[in-house]
Amino acid sequence: MKPAVIAVVGSAMMDLTAYAQLLPEPGQTLAGQHFTTGFGGKGANQSVMAAHCGAEVHFIGKLGEDVFGASILDNFVKVGINTEYVERSETPTGVAHIWVDGNGENRIIIIPGANHEIGSAKAVDAINSIKDLSIVVAQCEIKQEVTLNAFKAAKARGCTTILNPAPYQEISAELFELCDWIIPNEIEFRELCGELPASDEILKSFRPGKNSVVTLGSQGAVYISADRQLLRVPAPKVTAVDTTGAGDAFVGAFAFSLASGSDPASAMTLGIKIASLSVTGKGAQSSYPDQAEIATLS
Ligand code: RIB
pLDDT (average), residues 12-17: 98
Residue 270 CA to residue 298 CA, distance in Å, equals 9
Instruction: Please indicate, yes or no, if residue 84 is contained in any of the structural domains.
Output: yes
Contact 98, 41 (CB under 8 A): no
Grade residue 150 by pLDDT with cuts at 50, 70 and 90: very high
Instruction: Please indicate, yes or no, if residue 178 is contained in any of the structural domains.
Output: yes
Instruction: Please indicate, yes or no, if residue 28 is contained in any of the structural domains.
Output: no
Per-residue pLDDT, 177? 97
pLDDT (average), residues 90-102: 97
Of 17, 36, 42, 137, which is best to mutate to test ligand 1, by the most ligand atoms within 8 angstroms of its C-beta? 42
Residue 279 CA to residue 105 CA, distance in Å, equals 10
Instruction: Please indicate, yes or no, if residue 186 is contained in any of the structural domains.
Output: yes
Instruction: Please indicate, yes or no, if residue 267 is contained in any of the structural domains.
Output: yes
Count of beta carbons in the 10 Å neighbourhood of residue 94: 30
Tell me whether strands 135-138 and 160-163 are parallel, antiparallel or unpaired: parallel
Q: What total of structural domains would you count in the chain? A: 1
pLDDT (average), residues 154-169: 98
For the question of residue 242 being annotated catalytic, the response is: no
Domain that holds residue 69: 5-23+33-297
pLDDT (average), residues 142-160: 98
> Could you report the per-residue pLDDT of 42-95, keeping only the tens digit for each?
999 999 999 999 999 999 999 999 999 999 999 999 999 999 999 999 999 999
Amino acid at 136: V
Enumerate residues 6+ apart whose C-beta is below 8 A from 199: none
Task: Enter the pTM of the model.
Answer: 0.97
Percent of the chain scoring above 70 in pLDDT: 100
Instruction: Please indicate, yes or no, if residue 226 is contained in any of the structural domains.
Output: yes
pLDDT (average), residues 239-256: 97
CATH number for 196: 3.40.1190.20
Identify which of 45, 219, 18, 220 has the alpha carbon closest to the alpha carbon of residue 108: 18
Instruction: Please indicate, yes or no, if residue 139 is contained in any of the structural domains.
Output: yes
Grade residue 151 by pLDDT with cuts at 50, 70 and 90: very high
Ligand 1 contacts CB of residue 242 (under 6 A)? no
